[in-house]
């Protein structure tokens, strides 16, 4: 289970709603990474902010500022190692303006070579009062340096293309993130093109800089967003956003129980011992005072078991758990009876 909580302080431009991408890595740039097979991921985002009114009539009716609220709930499921199905809802409200959106998507990789990873995610978006909108999000990520002496940078590019009733959709965002483990400072650029790729047709352009902090399974992410349009007027809106990610595995591994008996090889009497069991997912130490112990919840697989007693030869054996209940008996040889090496079972 992974639980993420993000706190974002953003200064947005004069648009009612920010663009709605799935932005795993930054604010708008999507990620090419995939969850493991059988994983389900839920994401809940809540935004609240304020927008200044420039129109005199709107300013007279509703005051100098309007508050808005936005809620996003997304879910994705990895049916294969590199294929994800996703769905989500988006609700936005600002006084008399409100809309609801529902989207469905499929995310698959393409042209991933070495350090360069890419994916494509076709979207179908259903907006209240409009015809379905078809778009495709193309994401490319690369880590150019892998040497220990150099910082690890992640460069992400995201393009969302499609068409809806109001016209064509062409959105672009670029991300530069410093991957240092716990701290992840990043900068990001986002823009839209109304008709064609040209500086004269750029709209809703913004620059964002922030810092991510990882503490175990907890991720805190914050940033400041600056609109590049009408910059001289300093007409910045603000938005507070919080979110929670929840990830769980539907393909739980079967587990078994190990019943251990430790005996003196000569008289076959149960003796106390220290049991150390190591595996891919388990490493535990058990003090078996009576010589008869039980170890539960061991995922099926291979292990190494070590048994120690100060008066006996140390024993080390491979162990394979493939049933719900496994019985094992180990016999130890006293040190004065045989010198050197481990005793046979």
- How confident is the model at residue 305, as a pLDDT? 92
Say yes or no to pLDDT of 111 above 90. Answer: no
Domain boundaries, the chain: 2-249, 255-332
Rounded average pLDDT over 77-94: 85
Segment 120-142 shows an average pLDDT of 87
Taking 90 as the threshold, does the pLDDT of residue 3 lie above it?
no
Q: Is the pLDDT reported for residue 263 higher than 90?
A: yes
pLDDT at 331: 92
Residues 131-157: what's their mean pLDDT? 82
pLDDT score, position 238? 58
Across the range 24-44, mean pLDDT stands at 79
Mean pLDDT of the chain: 76
pLDDT at 251: 67
Cα dihedral 315→318→322→328 (10° resolution): -20
pLDDT range class, residue 144, cuts 50, 70, 90: confident
How large a percentage of the chain has pLDDT more than 70?
Answer: 71
Mean pLDDT of all residues in 284-312:
89
Alpha carbon of 198 to those of 122, 170, 201, 202, 261: distances in Å? 25, 12, 5, 7, 76
- Asked if residue 326 has pLDDT above 80, the reply is yes
CATH class of 255-332: mainly beta
Averaged over 117-142, what is the pLDDT? 87
Give me the pLDDT at residue 12, please: 32
Percent of the chain with pLDDT over 90: 15
For residue 20, what pLDDT is reported? 46
The 10s digit of each residue's pLDDT in 229-258 is 654 444 455 556 556 667 777 766 788 888
Task: Output the pTM of the full model.
Answer: 0.61
Pairwise pLDDT comparison (343 vs 262), residue with the higher score: 262
Instruction: Provide mean pLDDT across the span 13-38.
Output: 64
Check residue 119 and give its pLDDT.
92
- Other C-beta atoms within 10 Å of 228: how many? 14
Residue 221 pLDDT exceeds 90: no
**Of 196 and 299, more confident:** 299
pLDDT of residue 148 exceeding 90, the answer is no
Residue 233: what pLDDT?
A: 45
pLDDT at 15 over 50: no
Quickly name the fold that domain 2-249 has: Porin (2.40.160)
């Amino acid at each position: 289970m992974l639980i993420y909580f993000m706190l974002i302080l953003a200064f947005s431009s004069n648009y009612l709603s920010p663009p709605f991408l799935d932005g795993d890595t930054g604010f708008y740039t999507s990620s090419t990474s995939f969850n493991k097979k059988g994983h389900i991921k839920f994401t809940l985002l809540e935004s609240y902010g304020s927008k200044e009114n420039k129109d005199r009539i709107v300013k007279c009716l509703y005051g100098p500022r309007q508050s808005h609220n936005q809620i996003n709930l997304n879910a994705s499921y990895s049916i294969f190692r590199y294929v994800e199905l996703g769905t989500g809802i988006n609700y936005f409200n600002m006084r008399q303006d409100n809309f609801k959106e529902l989207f469905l998507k499929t995310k698959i990789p393409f042209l991933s070579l070495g350090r360069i990873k890419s994916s494509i995610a076709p979207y179908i978006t259903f907006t209240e009062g409009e015809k379905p909108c078809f778009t495709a999000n193309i994401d490319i990520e690369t880590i150019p340096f892998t040497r220990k002496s150099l910082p690890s940078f992640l460069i992400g590019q995201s393009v969302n293309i499609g068409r809806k009733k109001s016209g064509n959709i062409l959105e672009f965002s670029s991300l530069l993130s410093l991957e240092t483990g716990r701290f992840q400072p990043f900068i990001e650029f986002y823009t839209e093109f109304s008709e064609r790729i040209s500086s004269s047709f750029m709209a809703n352009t913004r620059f964002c800089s922030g810092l991510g902090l990882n503490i175990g399974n907890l991720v805190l992410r914050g940033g400041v967003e600056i609109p590049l349009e009408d910059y001289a007027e300093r007409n910045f809106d603000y938005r507070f956003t919080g979110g929670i990610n929840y990830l769980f595995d539907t393909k739980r591994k079967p587990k078994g129980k190990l019943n251990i008996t430790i005996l003196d090889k000569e008289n076959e009497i149960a003796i106390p011992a220290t049991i150390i069991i190591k595996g891919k997912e388990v490493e535990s130490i058990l003090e078996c005072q009576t010589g008869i112990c039980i170890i539960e919840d061991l995922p099926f697989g291979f292990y190494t078991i070590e048994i120690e007693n100060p008066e006996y030869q140390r024993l080390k054996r491979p162990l394979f758990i493939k049933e719900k209940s496994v019985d094992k008996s180990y016999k130890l040889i006293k040190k004065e009876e045989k010198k050197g090496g481990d005793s046979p079972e």
